[in-house]
Amino acid sequence: MPRFTPENDGTGLARQLTDPLVAQYVYSVFIALAWCNALELVVLCLNTFKRYAGTYFWSLFVASISIIPFGLGYLLKMFHITFTNGYLELAITDIGWVGMVTGQSLVLWSRLHLVVHNRKVLKGILYLIIIDGVLLHTAATTLEFMNNGLYYIHNVTVAFGIMERIQVVWFCVQELLISSVYIVETAKLLRLDQAGPSRTILTQLIIVNVTIMVLDLVVVAVQFAGFFTLQVTTKVLVYSIKLKLEYIILGRPTKISLALTPRSSEPREWGPFRCYMLQWTATSSFTTTLIPVASGESYAHLTIMASLLTAVGLTQAPLSAPIPNYGPGFLIFHFAFAYGIVSSRPLKQYYGIDHQESPRQDLNKYGEAAVRDGKITRKQLEMLQRNEAAHANSVENYTLFVAGITLATYAGVPRTTINAAGLTYTVARILYAINYITAERPRTATWRGLFWWVGNLSCLTLLWKAGQALSE
């Protein structure tokens, strides 16, 4: 199989990034940040929509959750943690890639209905997304699997490298096209109210869409600079940021309609959405409530949630926007992370050295015999031992995290503090696990202690704040 590592993408076409700091930390941090964004996006999506229906909801949800397998697959390949000679990792990556990329395009298309009323334009863009998805995803996935198994054939490798550039560029062009249509139609609305409050809102919408376009161009630029591994890790982070920007756009069309229709209380049809225009008072205080109707049937009541910066207390929340408590979401994620994601059992089962009748310390009992029998290499045994230790440590620390979140919530600690501590713990534990499992050099492994202390201090901070609150 191709030697896909932080220094080599297996195609022979990309320049390598050989800096150990970049190879071991920057890529992992990009993926970890994308996972944190994905976790927040899934929680936001499930809490924002009261009814789970419609193209906008499902495309937003699928695109958000697909970030996780996309990053996981590349993380396994970057550090050459292979289960099935690379094929399983490719399958995980491609499933996430399809959902993340085409899901993002469908998100952009879904909200076009709020500003575009020409059905031919909407249908044309939808057909474009479907055709591009079928052709590019199929071709790129096929060549990627061929390159994995037939890497010694030069023409296959070259074809994969060319196809990789084609799909990156074309998906970027597709999203640029959809965003451009949105900007043009929003600019038309801007002309209707030259001095009113909607002008500021419309300008913000244009800025957000331009930002999305710039992020797309950054991914293409990194790809053509020859940094393949940096491109894929940047892509997963960029797509998570673009999806977060959707929550800025989500409430703006209602605000625009309020500004342009100050006294109207009648519903107005906008494509598959129905927006209720509420009264806008002279003090510019109005309710931002949007009710989309998917296919004229399913209603979803949307409340614009606070952003992550607001949730962790870095920005001021509007009076009408309650700050959510992400504590339960963090608890669920870390239970799955500690007992499932970091567990070494799947790897041991694959290598045929999992002993259910005596699972405790089975690597110490049977590891050397497995090396002698040729089931695993010495390097794989050492990685499994580190994986087992990281799993045990995650389970041990989970109880402290549960105590901190639970007691802080019970004591009425500010939600911004709980969210900030939960996010800090999440990032620290992910980096801790990655460093523990993959770091082979003593100098690299020293970072593990820093990540451990950062995570535990966030829990201890919650316990301290809870104690102060209960004492008062």
Per the listing, tokens 């020859």 go with: 226
Read off the pLDDT of residues 318-372 as tens digits, 9 standing for 90 and up.
Answer: 545 567 788 888 888 888 888 888 887 777 766 677 666 555 566 666 677 777 7
Q: Cα-Cα-Cα-Cα dihedral of 79, 82, 88, 94, to 10°?
A: 10
Pairing of strands 302-303, 289-290: antiparallel
Residue 252: its pLDDT value, please? 56
CB 147 within 8 A of CB 137: no
* Partners of 266 in the β-ladder: none
pTM: 0.54
CB 321 within 8 A of CB 310: yes
* Residues shown for the chain: 472
Architecture category of domain 20-256 in CATH: Up-down Bundle (1.20)
3-state DSSP assignment of residue 5:
strand
Rounded Cα distance, 395 and 199, in Å:
52
Highest mean pLDDT of the ranges 91-105, 189-203, 275-289: 91-105
Residue 299: its pLDDT value, please? 31
Rounded Cα distance, 214 and 117, in Å:
26
Residue 180: its pLDDT value, please? 86
Whether pLDDT at 81 is above 80: no
C-alpha distance from residue 80 to each of 1, 77, 84, 145 (Å): 11, 5, 11, 16
Pairing of strands 298-299, 273-276: unpaired
* Partners of 276 in the β-ladder: 267
Q: Pick the closest to residue 44 from 287, 260, 250 (CA basis).
A: 250
C-alpha distance from residue 306 to each of 207, 248, 320, 398, 407 (Å): 19, 9, 10, 27, 23
Rounded Cα distance, 322 and 288, in Å:
13
Token representation of residue 389: 């230790």
Q: Which residues touch 455 (CB under 8 Å, ≥6 apart)?
A: 397, 401, 424, 425, 428, 429, 432
Give residue limits of the domains in the chain.
Answer: 20-256, 308-471
**Would you say domain 308-471 falls under CATH 1.20.120.550?**
yes
**Share of residues in the chain with pLDDT > 90 (%):** 12
pLDDT top residue among 356 and 260: 356
3-state DSSP assignment of residue 302:
strand
CB 17 within 8 A of CB 5: no
Sign of the alpha-carbon dihedral angle for 267, 269, 275, 277: negative
Q: Where are the beta strands (DSSP E) in 286-411?
A: 289-290, 293-294, 298-299, 302-303
CB 273 within 8 A of CB 114: yes
Half-sphere exposure of 233 (CA within 13 A, CB side): 25
Q: Which of the residue ranges 187-191, 319-323, 402-406, 430-434 would you say has the lowest mean pLDDT?
A: 319-323
Sign of the alpha-carbon dihedral angle for 147, 152, 158, 159: negative
**What's the mean pLDDT when you consider all of the chain?**
74
Q: Count CB-CB contacts under 10 A for residue 410.
A: 11
For the chain, what is the total number of helices (H) and then of strands (E)? 18, 6
Read off the pLDDT of residues 445-470 as tens digits, 9 standing for 90 and up.
Answer: 888 888 899 999 999 999 999 999 98
| DSSP conformation class of 270 | E
Q: Which residues touch 389 (CB under 8 Å, ≥6 apart)?
A: 436
Whether pLDDT at 472 is above 50: yes
Residue 95: its pLDDT value, please? 92
Q: Cα-Cα-Cα-Cα dihedral of 335, 337, 338, 342, to 10°?
A: 160
Residue 16: its pLDDT value, please? 38
